[in-house]
């Protein structure tokens, strides 16, 4: 099992540019989560999906952030326009409602640096 796959692993961009982070959840998982981790705020949930439908996006910082899940095997988190304060490690995680409840499997993360 490949686990949760995220790309890119590292992204360096300039302020104002659009950034797209990608995630492939574990096959068969019906929940997908996007988290952000910073030294200032720790690990925060941004949004999560169930069966490709967004359930809770209350953690999304502002309108510059958007997330989509067009199918069960792919999700994107987009930041447009990016700002230096968006610099963080972004994690995608997935879980299964038929597995151990609330056991979320995390990907390796994408380290985003906005200059």
Q: Is 62 in the site for another protein (CB under 8 A)?
A: no
Buried b (16+ CB within 10 A) or exposed e, 81-108: ebeeebbbebbbbbbbeeeeeeebbebe
Q: Which is nearer to another protein, 18 or 56 (CB)?
A: 56
Cβ distance to another protein smaller for residue 18 or 58: 58
Nearer CB in complex with another protein: 10/16: 10
Residues forming beta bridges with residue 101, ordered by sequence position: none
Compute the distance between CA of residue 60 and CA of residue 34 in angstroms, rounded to an integer.
9
Q: Tell which residue, 61, 58, 81, 57, has the closest CA to residue 69.
A: 57
- Tokens, residue 48: 């999560």
Select from 24, 29, 75, 95 the one that contacts another protein (CB under 8 A).
95
Nearer to another protein among residue 5 and residue 76 (C-beta): 5
In angstroms, the CA 96 to CA 42 distance is 25
Pick out residues in 31-60 that bind another protein (CB under 8 A).
31, 33, 38-45, 48, 50, 55-56
Can you give the binding site for another protein, defined by CB under 8 A? Answer: 4, 31, 33, 38-45, 48, 50, 55-56, 91, 93, 95, 100-109
């Amino acid at each position: 099992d490949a686990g949760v796959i995220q790309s890119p692993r590292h992204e360096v961009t300039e302020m104002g540019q659009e950034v797209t982070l990608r995630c492939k959840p574990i096959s068969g998982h019906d929940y997908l989560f996007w988290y952000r981790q910073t030294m200032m705020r720790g690990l925060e949930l941004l949004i999560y999906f169930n069966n490709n439908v967004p359930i809770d996006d209350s953690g999304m910082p502002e309108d510059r952030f958007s997330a989509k899940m067009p199918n069960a095997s792919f999700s994107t988190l987009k930041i447009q326009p990016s700002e230096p304060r968006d610099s963080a490690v972004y994690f995608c995680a997935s879980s299964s409602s038929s597995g151990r409840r609330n056991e979320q499997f995390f990907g390796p993360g994408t380290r985003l640096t906005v200059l």
